[in-house]
Structure 1
Amino acid sequence: MHFLDQLALGFSVVFTVQNLVYCFIGCFLGTLVGVLPGLGPVPTIAMLLPLTFGVEPVSALIMLAGLYYGSQYGGSTTAILINLPGESASIVTAIDGHQMARKGRAGTALATAAIGSFFAGTVATLLIACFAPLLAQFALQFGAPEYFSLMVLGLSASALMASGSFLKAIAMILLGILLGISGDDLYTGLPRLTFGIHDMGDGMEFVSIAMGVFGLSEIMKNLETEPERNVVVRTVKGLWLSRKDFAEIAAPVVRGTALGSILGVLPGGGALLASFASYFLEKRIAENPEKFGKGAIAGLAGPESANNAGAQTSFIPMLTLGIPSNAVMALMLAALIMQGITPGPNVINEQPQLFWGLIVSMWIGNLMLLVLNLPLIGIWVKLLMVPYRVLFPAIMTFGCIGVFTVNNNTFDVYAMAVFGIVGYILMKLDFEPAPLLLGFVLGPLLEENLIRSMLLSQGDARIFVQRPISATLLTLALLTIILVMIPALRKKRAVIFAE
């Protein structure tokens, strides 16, 4: 199918009343989630997953995608106005954005964030449309051994997402795999890791784990340390840029878009890494680096563009290979599986309306977000004044209702509560939950492809290194582990020599 025909198919899918409404809902909720500190896209998407069961797969994915990249937009509002990032990728935005607001340039800062985000999102979506089909075409050469090696690479690379101990990240991945393969064995029918609990016969429910580990634990943490919100500007004016401002942000926006588009594809990369990398790049090449941290518009434009580009290109490995590059993509992958769609390279050929509909919806969604963010600034400012202790009961209520409606089973609600406590304890012990979620999603796929590979080779494990693509992927996985371990080994060596 020709590229223009594929885009035409995407536009025909999106331009229905139903899908436009879902796109708007996703973008609006994403902005809201980004504006309100303490929510974030991961617990919100986990909470909304059960509500997508009665919805067409393409509509559900359009809404969830809009929520994700919409949260990148909304997070900049709180970062600029109250120096409190509503989303983790907006941490860098607060550095110069808030200083601009303190100097009376809040409108300019918000306009810069919106325009940079819109440009980056548009370009990143074009890159997905161009390169994702090529990657999927290559992935069609994969058999069971290649998929097993790809899963190993994805899991080893997910250790990059953890900012703390490498061993703790590996422990979380293994815990996620064990939870993912619990329940009745597909080949023998025998129960495993069910601890005699009948309700665990079909395995743990993904929504219960995601909502518990990310949603409830996040609520506990925020209630423990709810920060003060001091809004610098209550009435925002001048929501447009001068010619001089446009000239100053043009190059940083382009560089941030390029950097974010590349880093977004990498496992463990995404929006957060892209925004930090863009900020350091802009500061390094700036003529007056001393202005950074004091309200430099380039220090706002580059990172904002980078985090939105990174958020959108992170869809490429998820859609084409079935490998999530971050926790949000793991939730997206789970949404596909719940809808009965097998993620991987065949999605583009077997579900072209879903793939191209999602691509086109990103263009439409970015336009909606540009329209939403600037005129509704007054509403977002008022929402910033709502105390978190008022918000969390509503969040918990919707979470419990959502988890219960998946199987109409109270066991899932109890499981969510248990994993909420477990998630809170893990955060206190500096265990990051994202690798656990990736392990849970990829664990069953890893096991399935391992068994298929062993059946193909009649039990000969050399099949994984005898096939070139599989051997290359395993080598990359080994290199990833080595790269992650090098800083820890250097630190240990320095301690030994110091003694």
Structure 2
Amino acid sequence: MLNDLLTALQAVATLQNFLIMAAGIWAGVVIGAIPGMTGTMAVTLALPFTFYMEPVSSILLLVALYKGSTYGGSVSAILIRTPGTASAACTALDGYPLAQQGKAGKALNMALYSSVVGDFLSNISLIFLAAPLALLALNVGPPEYFMLMVFALTTVAGVSGNSLLMGLVSACLGLLLATAGEDMYGSFRFAFTDDMQAGLAVAPVLIGLFALPELFKLIVFRNPPKARAMQLGDDRVSRKELRPVIKSLLRGSFIGVILGAIPGIGPSAAAFFSYGAAQRSSPRADNFGKGELEGIAASESANNGACGATMIPLLALGVPGDVITGVMLGAFMIQGLTPGPLLFQTNIHEIYMLFIGMLLSSVLLFGAGKLTMRMFTYIAKIPATLLSPLVLVLCLYGIYSIGNSMFDVIVLLAMGVGGFVMYLLNIPAAPFLIAFILGPMIEENLRRALAISRGDPTVLLSSPITWIFAALVLFVVGLTIRREIKKANERKARFQ
């Protein structure tokens, strides 16, 4: 085995492979930072270029693009409150307030450190836990998925701001909008036009909800005199600041690994799950959403931790973990490699090369993040009056370029108006987005579970895993009710 590893290391450690991985990481960061330009788009567009490359080099290029774009989404989320990817939506909750406080550099560095740690631990887990985690994922059926998603939905309580009621209203609206389009049995809901039969895409909803309201604020409120370009400030994350977030950073990495290994979950759900867990356990829970480094660490470690983990079911079982690994499955097949248990017997040399290359890509991610950070941080120095029109153009171009669809542009603008109205009514946007992303997974797995059991609802509590998640849901709901009662008593005492 040692000889195989040394041979694989020698094969990977070539100038060509380093340049391929570095180019993939850097391009992924840039693409992920542009609103509307997703990692799926980057990997898909790069696929034709891999046809004439060596098998492992081609896969490493696609993996590098995936990792880079996942981190890159945090750059625009922090600097202009426009998540480049859906998995960076949680990062915007605390990253943008920190940027407004003149700590954009500090927030970017925390996102980078968390992404690299999450990515590295994910790669280690892929190497040592591929088979066991893949077997565990096989035991997770629709009832377990449903209870897991319901538990993830309890994150809504933590990002509801000062009013849990408004947060629940926002989440209900998100769940309602998530039902638009065709369901699993071929029925259409809210299909007022032919375009709506396919449902609403995440990208225009996400960007419209977070980015455009900032532009509308500038137009309506005419940019108050005190407003000025954000300052980067001290970008160094001190030991004092890092020490309290290590727990959430490591926990987020392992949450990303576990959820990433379950096909269909992906980085977005992992980020929300980790963010909620960090807030519930943090002594600074009240500061989440106002500029808390721990929130960034929890989100970024989880979404990058899920990247390597999505390769676990792909390599061990031949089942893609998400959309991007679905594209990678095609790349494997094109190169004559068939993912699955036999891959570890027939192509173990290529597997070792892939593992070593993924570990090296974590180091390259750190370097690319540092280099691009210096480039992107100049965005924070641009006055809002100049930056906002540029953001609007990027949003419109990015959304249109995904599917060449004017309907997506209309959804983007409609969600921008809706997000601004929600701002005026003091309805938080984060619960809406969480519910919109998790809604389809909740509905699909609920209906599958009931179909399997012929309508018997007890199937939702038919295994130890479902009981564990049900208990966690009750525990979190109890804590939330207790917190709301405490807040009500404090307000009552204040006015007496």
The answer as to 2:359 corresponding to 1:363 is no
Within 2, Cα distance between the matches of 1:400 and 1:73?
20
Task: Within 5 Å, give how 1:14-25 maps onto structure 2.
Answer: 15=17, 17-25=19-27
Alignment check: 8 A CA contact 1:73 1:369 kept: no
Partner in structure 2 of residue 311 of structure 1: 300
Partner in structure 2 of residue 396 of structure 1: 392
Distance 1:115 1:51, change over 3 A: closer
Q: Report how far residue 318 of structure 1 moved.
A: 7.8
Within 2, Cα distance between the matches of 1:484 and 1:451?
28
Distance 1:48 1:406, change over 3 A: same
Task: Within 5 Å, give how 1:177-326 maps onto structure 2.
Answer: 177-187=175-185, 189-194=186-191, 196-222=192-218, 224=221, 225=223, 227-229=227-229, 253=242, 256-262=245-251, 265=255, 268=272, 307-308=296-297, 311-316=300-305
Alignment check: 8 A CA contact 1:216 1:417 kept: yes
Could you tell me which of 421, 427, 440 is aligned with 1:425? Answer: 421
Within 1, Cα distance between the matches of 2:10 and 2:419?
42
Distance 1:368 1:122, change over 3 A: same
Partner-residue secondary structure (3-state), 2:45: coil
Distance 1:63 1:398, change over 3 A: same
Alignment check: 8 A CA contact 1:210 1:437 kept: yes
Within 1, Cα distance between the matches of 2:23 and 2:238?
33
Alignment check: 8 A CA contact 1:183 1:204 kept: yes
Unaligned runs of 5+ in 1: 34-43, 76-84, 99-108, 242-247, 282-299, 323-332, 342-347
Partner in structure 2 of residue 125 of structure 1: 119
Task: Within 5 Å, give how 1:56-135 maps onto structure 2.
Answer: 56=47, 58=63, 60-68=65-73, 88-89=94-95, 122-131=116-125, 133=129
The answer as to 2:460 corresponding to 1:464 is yes
Alignment check: 8 A CA contact 1:257 1:306 kept: no
Q: Report how far residue 69 of structure 1 moved.
A: 5.1
The answer as to 2:153 corresponding to 1:155 is yes
AA aligned opposite 2:24: Y
Partner in structure 2 of residue 105 of structure 1: none
Partner-residue secondary structure (3-state), 1:54: helix
AA aligned opposite 2:187: L
Deviations 1:405-450 (A, max 9, x none): 3332322212211111001111222222222222222222222211
Q: Report how far residue 123 of structure 1 moved.
A: 3.9
Distance 1:317 1:148, change over 3 A: farther
Within 1, Cα distance between the matches of 2:386 and 2:76?
21
Unaligned runs of 5+ in 2: 48-61, 81-90, 256-269, 286-290, 312-320, 330-338, 344-350
Alignment check: 8 A CA contact 1:270 1:310 kept: yes
The answer as to 2:447 corresponding to 1:451 is yes
Within 2, Cα distance between the matches of 1:155 and 1:318?
21
Partner in structure 2 of residue 39 of structure 1: none
Partner-residue secondary structure (3-state), 2:422: helix
Distance 1:395 1:120, change over 3 A: closer
Partner in structure 2 of residue 175 of structure 1: 173
Within 2, Cα distance between the matches of 1:349 and 1:336?
17
Alignment check: 8 A CA contact 1:166 1:485 kept: no
Could you tell me which of 402, 410, 415 is aligned with 1:414? Answer: 410
Deviations 1:234-273 (A, max 9, x none): xx9xx9x9xxxxxx95576455434433367486576899
Q: Report how far residue 364 of structure 1 moved.
A: 1.5
Within 1, Cα distance between the matches of 2:92 and 2:155?
26
Partner-residue secondary structure (3-state), 1:213: helix
Instruction: Tell me the TM-score normalized by structure 1.
Output: 0.65
AA aligned opposite 2:164: F
Could you tell me which of 419, 434, 444 is aligned with 1:438? Answer: 434
Distance 1:364 1:410, change over 3 A: same
Matched length: 413
Instruction: Tell me the TM-score normalized by structure 2.
Output: 0.65
Within 2, Cα distance between the matches of 1:114 and 1:423?
25
Alignment check: 8 A CA contact 2:182 2:198 kept: yes
Deviations 1:377-409 (A, max 9, x none): 8x956x544322222222222222222233323
Identity of aligned residues (%): 20
What is the root-mean-square deviation of aligned Cα atoms in Å?
Answer: 5.1
Within 2, Cα distance between the matches of 1:9 and 1:171?
57
Distance 1:417 1:476, change over 3 A: same
Partner in structure 1 of residue 85 of structure 2: none
Alignment check: 8 A CA contact 2:252 2:274 kept: yes
Deviations 1:34-74 (A, max 9, x none): xxxxxxxxxx4445568535344645522322314556997
AA aligned opposite 1:312: S
Partner-residue secondary structure (3-state), 1:462: helix
Partner-residue secondary structure (3-state), 1:163: coil
Within 2, Cα distance between the matches of 1:357 and 1:167?
48
Partner in structure 1 of residue 56 of structure 2: none
Within 2, Cα distance between the matches of 1:12 and 1:142?
38
Could you tell me which of 463, 481, 486 is aligned with 2:482? Answer: 486
AA aligned opposite 2:147: S
Partner-residue secondary structure (3-state), 2:427: coil
Alignment check: 8 A CA contact 1:46 1:211 kept: yes
Within 2, Cα distance between the matches of 1:168 and 1:481?
16
Q: Report how far residue 206 of structure 1 moved.
A: 2.2
Q: Report how far residue 314 of structure 1 moved.
A: 4.1
Alignment check: 8 A CA contact 2:274 2:299 kept: yes
Within 2, Cα distance between the matches of 1:87 and 1:459?
39
Within 2, Cα distance between the matches of 1:473 and 1:276?
16
Within 1, Cα distance between the matches of 2:161 and 2:65?
31
Alignment check: 8 A CA contact 1:11 1:360 kept: no
